[in-house]
Amino acid sequence: MSTNTYARIGKLLVKLETGKTCVAEYETALFLCAVQHLQYEKTHQYAYVSDFQGYGGMLSDPQIMTSPELLKLIYGDEVDGDEAASRLRKNTLFGDGNVEVGFKKFALKHQCNHFCTWMDLAPFDVTDSLDE
């Protein structure tokens, strides 16, 4: 009989069981958190992939999270104009799961790990995130 526990790593909830499988899945979750950090930095803080789900090495159902500023780059200032048109455009940019508040909290909630260090990623300056 195995004891199941859960660990939250960023937004990832990982089921931990006694044995090697849990260690591998925990390390995968840490790696995916670091990959999000890398994506966030390499896209100049405009996007990252979130909501990884899966088991046994197969991931599915990801959600691309984007900065609200990206809409302005794509559509111009008209995004702030007509409310109905603005809402339609927001829903066309990677779907309903692209939640603005989730994106804005990324730098505040992310916890760097050994993969972030290995990728030479600097921890976020959360004072910048608090001002926004």
Residue 81 sits in a domain of what CATH number? 3.20.200.10
What is the mean predicted confidence (pLDDT) over 103-114?
92
What is this structure's pTM?
0.72
**Within a domain: residue 52?**
yes
Q: Which residues form the domain of 76?
A: 5-119
Of 16 and 113, the structure prediction assigns the larger pLDDT to: 113
Flag whether pLDDT at 48 surpasses 90: yes
Pairwise CA distance, residues 74 & 56, whole Å? 37
User: What's the number of domains the chain is made of?
Assistant: 1
